[in-house]
Structure 1
């Protein structure tokens, strides 16, 4: 798949990702299929060797490596991220497994237009140290019967932004971290796409 940026929707999307970028990939596919009225316009990663950077190169999505390696001062990195998003005329930002805290400039510039997906029913199992498989392990250890995913606005506190949408999946007898992760992850892309469609209708 190669992107034809001239034929997609009006809302321009930026992605921030550190590793595989599964949500960024799902959102991009939805855009190319006409299921989401938006245009993937930029990927920023703090990890130059990440699979998501390779993927972006393969499909022709503009990509930038911005990290503390080049910007050891956090304020300078924050300013560089905002400058890159503005240079590419980004309307909304999707965090897709971005493992770094964002600075005040970025959070202010895109307040209400920056979304993240978290693999639990926030406020449960959110906050510092709760990410990826650690979330699913905690859910299983607590003998929860229901889990899911949450799309929320990104604010200064970790996983504390306003909840936009949630999906729910049953925690089944005999579940492992891997099986629970698979079911929750399967809901994350569609959940983010639906949230972005509502945002697109509001900003375009």
Structure 2
């Protein structure tokens, strides 16, 4: 028996380039409030900027209110300055342990009163301290179709394995590296003659698309956004 018309959602998959699942859905903020997002980044910050742009365009009912980087010279810090988003540097080399670094992250995000934390290219292994501080509120983006090719150099791993399809995954963070409930994935074909650079470029394009959707889904799970 039917229960009314099936909602129609835009299929953002790209023929011969990428397939995303699940498809984006429309979400609304609860009341007058928007999600307050904290972001962790170590590198160029392209995922950070894509997330900020999704917020600014109204695609995501949220604001990026705090960026934390561990590399004082990374591109993400420069992007934050251009976008007018507060940025704090917690250089991991100045901390005695991973737990000490994670406590500094917790303190910074709590001061900023963030609802969710997004690891957008955070090249540090997080500890139970950070995960427990933000249970089911810590989202990571990884350049493979997890559970395949966990850990560092996932794109090189895919090329070495000779797979014909790889992609990217946004997931909730668990203690074991690159595990946790999967929120969104996009499959990307591996083309003849691909190098780590050419494949990475296509994967990163899909990361920019699925990360805002993953944040929506994570917030929806916690009733921070309503369908």
TM-score by length of structure 1 reads 0.88
Deviations 1:15-68 (A, max 9, x none): 001111111110100111111110000001111111111221222111111133
- The two structures, once aligned, show a CA RMSD in angstroms of 1.7
Shift of residue 135 of structure 1?
1.9
**Residues 1:174 and 2:193 are matched in the alignment:** yes
For structure 1, list consecutive stretches of 5 or more residues without a partner in the other structure. 1-7
TM-score by length of structure 2 reads 0.79
Whether contact under 8 Å (2:183, 2:217) holds in the other structure is no
**Residues 1:88 and 2:112 are matched in the alignment:** yes
Equivalent of 2:183, from 164, 169, 193? 164
Task: Count residues with an aligned counterpart.
Answer: 192
Equivalent of 1:28, from 43, 52, 58? 52
Q: Tell which structure's C-alpha radius of gyration is larger.
A: 2
For structure 2, list consecutive stretches of 5 or more residues without a partner in the other structure. 1-31
For 1:124, the equivalent position in structure 2 comes to: 148
Q: Which aligned pairs between 1:72-83 and structure 2 lie closer than 5 A?
A: 72-83=96-107
**Residues 1:187 and 2:211 are matched in the alignment:** no
**Residues 1:111 and 2:135 are matched in the alignment:** yes
- Give the 3-state SS of the residue equivalent to 2:104 in structure 1: helix
Q: C-alpha distance in 1, partners of 2:128/2:35? A: 23
Equivalent of 1:12, from 10, 29, 36? 36
Equivalent of 2:67, from 43, 50, 63? 43
